[in-house]
Amino acid sequence: MTAPAATDTIRQVAANPDAKRNQLVIRLLLISAFVVILNETIMGVALPHLMKDLSITATAAQWLTTSFMLTMAVVIPVTGFLIQRFNTRPVFIAAMSLFSTGTLIAALAPGFEVLLAGRIVQASGTAIMMPLLMTTVMTLVAPASRGKTMGNISIVISVAPAIGPTISGLILSVLDWRWMFILVLPIAVGALVLGASRIQNVTTPRQVPLDVFSVVLSAFGFGGLVYGLSNLGGASAVGWIPLGIGLVALTVFVLRQLHLQKSDSALLDLRTLLSSNFTLSIAMLGISMLALFGTIILLPLYMQNVLGMSALASGLLLLPGGLTMGLLSPFVGRIFDRRGPTMLLVPGSLLVSGAFWAMSTMGQTTEPWMLMIAHIGMSIGLALLFTPLFTAGLGSLKPSLYSHGSAVVGTVQQLAGAAGTALFIAVMSSQSAALMAQGVSEVSATASGIRGAFLCGAIISLFAIPAAFLVRRPPLGEAVENTPAH
């Protein structure tokens, strides 16, 4: 599709008399995406309960979270092909059917192995849903009003992981761990039935080849990176070997895509990265996701192991930040539509960095309300970042690259989430272990290790501040000039 043709298509969509249909499709996708993303972090607080009920080690229990991220990293790069090759409705039905089936398997799981299988099936559906949502929004929504819609997507991406620990804490305080899945199942099935009956096809499929070798390289590359990052921090080679395999496979994968995209047959078209605005946006998004997932994993450990709070109290303390992020996101989208990204990204990056520096001073005597204020500050900062980054980044691509851009965004999210978790846990573990070896108490050593991890995050967050000044708003006409035409 040429640039003028793409512009004409978007203008037609903007004036589409089927606006109600498009709005319904986006709303159904948003609801479904919220349900599936919520499950990515809902297991964190439940791991101690699962270790006891299923008689498994902490390492085995961690696989329930690692396997989810691993499956997402493997499946997401393939979604660019799926969204181009098939219509909206069948792709949605496949995603929600996989997620609902995985939820049912997990709810009925008699033991660890079946529960793990259920999580993998769940993740397969989740991996398809987010790129489908983003590609559909970029296709249906006119550039001048994308910020508002992307604000709603930001709610899904930021709030669902933030409130996951709270919801699981509430459920586990009164019910068995299986209820985390039993309660989600009717919602997932309801979304599937409603979507299957109401969602209409809003995209035009085209014949695109599937390079099987690229799929294999993608699985080893992205899967190896996520698995390796999730297992770093120990003295063994359990993390370094798959990380090395992943880097080699990813290098070959990139070379393969550069060759295939000459004939428009790449599994993941890397011409998306030729847009400096897109590349800057996903770099900042990576730092933001590192902050979000690193904080999600560290704060419950700090609250429970250092401050002595219960799982439920920990979840409730994080709830105001999650709700704040959700409430702000639509307003942030409207501001972006009117004023562009700079006035949002600059204060957002400063707030996230400031929250990290504040958390790097926390100790055994820190008051919970001070922690809550720091978390709310970080949540506000992330709310100011996510919507402009999604909108400015994807809006800088031409329409034929939307599906590939959405897949790149999803992949970066998973890799950054795994890297944030691995980095923060590795710093915390190594520093606390060194102090305990010197005779320092476990609580004091853990507090010091967590401070060190947040200090590391504070230093990394500084790189996002200058980048915030460089991200530009694409012209309201489709900004495709900086991306080579096919």
Q: Which CATH number covers residue 298? A: 1.20.1250.20
The closest alpha carbon to 82, from 119, 118, 125, belongs to 125
DSSP codes of every residue in 359-407: HTT--TT--HHHHHHHHHHHHHHHHHHHHHHHHHHHHTS-GGGHHHHHH
484 inside domain: no
Dihedral angle of Cα 169, 386, 409, 158, to the nearest 10 degrees:
10
118 exposure class (CB count in 10 Å sphere: 0-12, 13-18, 19+): buried
pLDDT digits (tens, 9 = 90+) for 40-81: 667 766 777 787 788 877 667 777 877 787 788 788 888 877
Say how many C-beta atoms besides its own lie within 10 A of residue 21's C-beta.
15
441 inside domain: yes
Cβ atoms of residues 158 and 325 within 8 Å: yes
Cβ atoms of residues 3 and 478 within 8 Å: yes
Rg (CA), the chain: 22
CA distance 115 to 96: 18
- Cβ partners under 8 Å of residue 226, min gap 6: 66, 69, 70, 72, 73, 246, 414, 415, 418
CA distance 15 to 449: 56
Amino acid at 393: G
Query: If residue 462 lies in a helix (H) or strand (E), which one and from where to where?
Result: none
136 inside domain: yes
479 inside domain: no
Cβ atoms of residues 329 and 152 within 8 Å: yes
The closest alpha carbon to 200, from 24, 402, 399, 14, belongs to 24
Tell me how far CA of residue 341 lies from CA of 150, 172, 387, 468, in angstroms: 13, 40, 9, 8
Amino acid at 21: R
CA distance 69 to 297: 14
40 inside domain: yes
CA distance 32 to 125: 10
Q: What is the DSSP letter of 156?
A: I
96: Cα separation from own chain's centroid? 18
Domain that holds residue 91: 3-468
Q: What is the DSSP letter of 158?
A: I
Q: How many domains does the chain have?
A: 1
pTM of the model: 0.76
474 inside domain: no
Residue 58 has a pLDDT of: 63
Cβ atoms of residues 382 and 352 within 8 Å: yes
Cβ atoms of residues 229 and 419 within 8 Å: yes
Residue 199 has a pLDDT of: 76
Structure tokens at 417: 């989430």
Residue 357 has a pLDDT of: 93
Structure tokens at 364: 């055994």
Tell me how far CA of residue 326 lies from CA of 30, 166, 386, 391, in angstroms: 13, 15, 11, 17
297 inside domain: yes
Query: If residue 259 lies in a helix (H) or strand (E), which one and from where to where?
Result: helix 240-260
User: Which pLDDT tens digits describe the chain residue by residue (486 residues)?
Assistant: 444 444 444 444 444 556 777 778 888 888 888 888 777 667 766 777 787 788 877 667 777 877 787 788 788 888 877 887 888 888 889 999 999 999 999 999 988 899 999 999 998 998 888 888 888 887 787 777 777 777 777 777 767 776 777 787 788 878 888 898 998 899 889 889 988 887 777 667 777 777 888 888 888 888 888 777 766 655 455 668 888 888 999 999 999 988 888 887 888 888 888 888 999 998 888 888 887 777 777 887 788 888 888 777 877 888 888 788 878 877 888 888 888 888 999 999 999 999 999 998 988 888 889 989 999 998 899 889 888 888 888 888 888 788 888 888 888 877 787 777 777 877 888 888 888 888 888 888 888 888 888 898 888 889 889 999 998 888 765 444 444 433
